[in-house]
Homo-oligomer: A and B are copies of this chain.
Amino acid sequence: MNILVAKNVGFCFGVKRALDLVLKLLEENKKVYLLGDLVHNNNVMNHLKQKGAETISLSDVPHDAKDSVLVVRAHGVPPEDLQFAKMHFGQVVDTTCPIVQRLFQLAKKMSEEGYKILTFGKKEHPEMIALKGYVKDAFIEQNPIELSGKVCLLSQTTMSIEEYKQFASKVMEISNVNEFRMFNTICRVSAEREAETRQIAQQSDVVIVVGGKHSSNTKKLVAIAEKYAKVIHVEGADEVDQNDLSNYKTIGVVSGTSTPYEDVKKIIEKLLSGRESHGY
């Protein structure tokens, strides 16, 4: 049995930055409220909750808000929510990923310049809900739509670049625009993992994708790996059964950007111990 581990595993810098900010607050013994999941990873969320952080929504402001810190998650929130939070909480810490923040600012600027904003993304994803806060009439679509006039195309940061190109190409074909702008707002770190996953899956019989079941960037890796190999999507080592994997010659291991490096490491250790017990 060969194990192919991706070069880029563990947290991306945006997630690491968000977590460091929260852990620092917790170490300072601050009362920390999280505005929704900081990142899409249950292990990470459970860890933070054990340390005292609480997840809340703005419809239910806690009684000790003025003595607490509200942490805005990595996916960002609509600006109204940020304003509301600042009015009600003693302190507000914004952990919005800088790459996501750039997307919001671009959407806002282009909208102010008279462009219709069409974003390749998932309507229900927190990043897209936040974006709609910046540009109320932005179109959030996964399938191409026909537009006219001045059109600006953006993408949720965790979408597939290849699919974004197909989407943009089709919009261009079916629309009648006077002016068309397209920005590659896809996270480069996430795109690199996408390319790496493709490469690893092509050489593997089975790929273990480690990451949150609700994580958009992790689900993207699953979809890519599935084109080339059998896929097992897990959040942690306890979901991996080395007996089920004993028949595979080459096992690939990749992870989403909100997955702790420790989770990946534990899985590799399990696979290696499995190797021993089977006499490889």
Contact = CB atoms under 8 A, between A and B. Distances in A.
A182 B183 contact: no
Nearest to A168: B172
Interface stretch (A20-28, A39-47, A173-181, A265-273): A173-181
A173 B182 contact: no
21 contacts: A153-B180, A161-B176, A165-B172, A165-B173, A168-B172, A169-B169, A169-B170, A169-B173, A172-B172, A177-B182, A177-B184, A178-B183, A178-B184, A179-B181, A179-B182, A180-B180, A180-B181, A180-B182, A180-B183, A181-B181, A181-B182
Given A165-B173, A180-B180, A180-B181, 15 more contacts: A165-B172, A165-B175, A168-B172, A168-B180, A169-B170, A169-B172, A177-B182, A177-B184, A179-B181, A179-B182, A179-B183, A179-B184, A180-B182, A180-B183, A181-B182
A176 B191 CA distance: 12
Contacts of A183: 178-180
The contact size tier of chain A is 10 to 19
Contacts of A173: 165-166, 169
Interface of A: 153, 161, 165-166, 168-170, 172-173, 175-184
Contacts of A177: 182, 184
A162 to B, nearest CB: 9
A182 to B, nearest CB: 4
Q: Copies per complex?
A: 2
A100 to B, nearest CB: 17
Contacts of A175: 165
Contacts of A181: 179-182
A138 to B, nearest CB: 18
Contact of A182 (B165, B170, B172, B184): B172
A182 B177 CA distance: 9
A161 B176 CA distance: 9
A267 to B, nearest CB: 33
Nearest to A166: B173
Nearest to A172: B169
A166 B173 CA distance: 6
Contacts of A172: 165, 168-169, 172, 182
- Which 9 pairs show the lowest CB-CB distances between chains A and B? A180-B182, A169-B173, A169-B172, A169-B169, A178-B184, A168-B172, A181-B181, A179-B183, A165-B173
Nearest to A153: B180
A147 to B, nearest CB: 13
